[in-house]
Amino acid sequence: SMGRQAELDLIVVGGGIVGLSTAVAAQDRGLAVLCFEAARPGAGQSAGRTRIFRHRHERPELVELAVRARREWERWEMRLGHRLVGDEGALMAGPDLEDHAHRFEAADVEYAEVDPSAQRRALPILASLGETALLDPKGGAIRIRDAVEALVGWLGERLVLAEVLGLEQADGGLEVHTSEGIWRARRTVVCAGSGTDRLARPLGLELPVRHGCQLRATFGVREGLAGERLACLLDRRDTAASGVYASQCEGRPCYTVGLHSSEVDLPDGTAPIPPAESLSPTVERTSRYVAENLPGLHPEPVELRLCRTTKLPWGNDAFAAWRQGPVTVFAGNNVFKFAPVIGPLLVDSAVSDDVAPELAVPAEVPA
Ligand SMILES: Cc1cc2nc3c(=O)[nH]c(=O)nc-3n(C[C@H](O)[C@H](O)[C@H](O)COP(=O)(O)OP(=O)(O)OC[C@H]3O[C@@H](n4cnc5c(N)ncnc54)[C@H](O)[C@@H]3O)c2cc1C
C-alpha cells in the first residue's frame, strides 16, 4: 500500500558498500535513517568475491585518506570480531615506484622494497616482478561478502528492499517515491552506483559520470600452493596495458585478475553489457598474463564476471559528492576500500550545508 510515513532524518538510496556504510554511520549518530536497495545489498558494483585495499594512489590526499580508511576498517573489524581486510599485503611493480615511495613516506605509510625472493614469499604463485617491487604490508584483500553482510546485520530493519523511483522537493524536506510507498526525509543521500546520475538529473544535477563495465577472471591456485597467503598484485610494468589488478578470493583457493585495459565504455547506466562472446579476446589476454606471470595458477579461468563501473573524468580513483538542496549525491570509482570513511563523510555532508572537503570536486579539475 502506498502509505505516507513519519518524516525521517535521512534516507540513503542504494545498498552497495557506500550506501550501507552511510546508513550505519547515520544510525551510529542516532539519526532516524532508512536505506533503500532496489535489488540485493551488494549486488551492484560491490558484487564479486574480492576487492583490493591499497595505500597506493596518485594523489597524496588519497594516500592519507587510505590511512584513515584502514583505521575505520579496523573499527568495523573490532565491532564484528574478525578480519575484513586480509594481512596478505599488496605488491606493486611499475615505472613509478619511486614516486609512490615518496608519497608513502610523506603520509607515514609503511612499505618495503622487495627483491624477487621476497616477492615470491608474499605471493608464492608469482614468477617475478623484476629486481625491485614495493610491498604495502597493510594492503590486502577485502572480504567483501563479509563486509556487506556485517553492515546489513547492523542496519537490521533500517534496510528496506524497495526501488527508489524519484525524489521530489516538498516544503522543508523531500519526498522519496519508492516501489513500496512514499517516505519523507529531511535529507537524502544518493549512492545508487550506476543509477545515481539518473536519479540526480531531474533535480538539475548533471553529473560527469562515465559508465562502463569491466571483466574480472578468477583462476584456481595449483595444488601445493592452495593453502598459501597471497598478496594482492598491482602490476603496472606494461604501461600500454595500464595495469593489472589481482587479489585472492574470500575463503577459496582462487585468485581474481583484472586488466585495466579490459574496460569497455557504455553510454549510460542502463545500457546492456556486451555479450559474452565479445569478451573472449580479453579473457585470452588475461589468461596469457597469468600463464607468463602467475605460474602458480591454472591459466584457464574458473569464473568470469562482468561488472558495471562508474567513473569520474579526473582519475582512476576519483570520487565526489554534490549537494542540491536537501539531496547529496555521490559518485566515484574504486571506492570499496574507502567506504568506511566515505559513509561518515556523506552523513556530514548531508546534515551540514556543505559537502565535506574530502568529497569535494578537487579544485584543479573543471567542475
Ligand atoms: C570488477 C571490479 C573490480 C573492482 N576492484 C576494486 C578494488 O580492488 N578496490 C576498490 O576499492 N574498489 C574496486 N572496485 C570498485 C568498487 O567495487 C566500487 O567503487 C564500489 O563497490 C561502489 O560501491 P557503491 O555502493 O557506490 O555502488 P554499488 O555497489 O553499485 O551500489 C549501488 C546500489 O544501489 C542500488 N540502486 C541503484 N538504483 C537504485 C534505486 N533507484 N533505488 C534503490 N536502489 C538502487 C543498486 O542495486 C546497488 O546495489 C571494483 C569494481 C569492479 C566492478
**Host domain of residue 251:** 86-141+210-311
Quote the ligand 1 centre to 307 CA distance (angstroms): 9
| pLDDT 10s digits, 186-201 | 999 999 999 999 999 9
SS3 306: strand
Taking the CB of residue 158, how many other CB atoms lie within 10 A of it? 17
Whether residues 299 and 234 share a domain: the answer is yes
Quote the ligand 1 centre to 16 CA distance (angstroms): 5
Please report whether residue 69 resides in a domain: no
Whether residues 305 and 263 share a domain: the answer is yes
Residue nearest to atom 41 of ligand 1 (CA): 164
Q: How many residues does the chain have?
A: 367
What phi and psi values does residue 12 have, to the nearest 5 degrees?
Answer: -110, 125
What phi and psi values does residue 139 have, to the nearest 5 degrees?
Answer: -80, 170
Which helix (H) or strand (E) segment is 62 a member of? Answer: helix 60-80
Quote the ligand 1 centre to 133 CA distance (angstroms): 30
| pLDDT 10s digits, 330-364 | 999 999 999 999 999 999 999 998 999 999 998 87
| pLDDT 10s digits, 291-308 | 999 999 999 999 999 889
Please report whether residue 3 resides in a domain: no
Nearest ligand 1 atom, CA 162:
43
pLDDT classification of 42: cutoffs 50, 70, 90: very high
Quote the ligand 1 centre to 192 CA distance (angstroms): 8
Please report whether residue 2 resides in a domain: no
**For ligand 1, which residues put their CB under 6 angstroms from it?**
13-19, 36-39, 43-46, 48, 51-52, 163-164, 191-193, 195, 199, 214, 216, 245, 258, 307, 309, 333-337
Amino acid at the residue 287 = S
Q: What's the structural domain count of the chain? A: 2
What per-residue string of b and e applies to 313-330 under the rule 16 or more CB within 10 Å gives b? eebebbbbbbbeebbbbb
Please report whether residue 55 resides in a domain: no
**Distance separating alpha carbons of residues 285 and 32, to the nearest angstrom:** 49
